[in-house]
Structure 1
């Protein structure tokens, strides 16, 4: 398929055929499975792209941090607390 719109169009064609009571051939079933795989990868890519642009903003300092960096910082703080035998809640 050349783009996601063509993929969705074909998915809908196969769904309409099935909904009309016609059986999908084994080739069509395999095609449908592959089309859904392409579609899901597209959606995952969109979600990843969106999340890559998300930033946490510290309300006190206004410092902006990417979620991955924020999680790394939290992990480092937790490791430090564990090494110092502090209670972690």
Structure 2
């Protein structure tokens, strides 16, 4: 299958064509892999959203579930996945 942006290589071309993988040393290993960066970003965003809804619901998972639209069981699973702990209620009241 040919790509529309394929350009045949001619003598004197300094850059590899779009379809070729760059050779070693041409930026390899200097940037994090896209999947790793994306996964880290999404996990951080997910964690912040969970914390936002828990704070809004004052730590009540059932209420946070209703506010966010995330099923309660899924919210508990995400809380465990991200290692979020609920604050201990103040005993001095």
Instruction: Say yes or no: TM over 0.5.
Output: no
The TM-score bracket by the shorter chain reads 0.3 to 0.5
Q: TM-score under structure 2 normalisation?
A: 0.32
Q: Could you say which structure has the higher strand fraction?
A: 1
Q: TM-score under structure 1 normalisation?
A: 0.34
Q: Could you say which structure has the higher helix fraction?
A: 1
Task: Report 1 or 2 for greater relative contact order, CA contacts < 8 Å, sequence distance ≥ 6.
Answer: 1
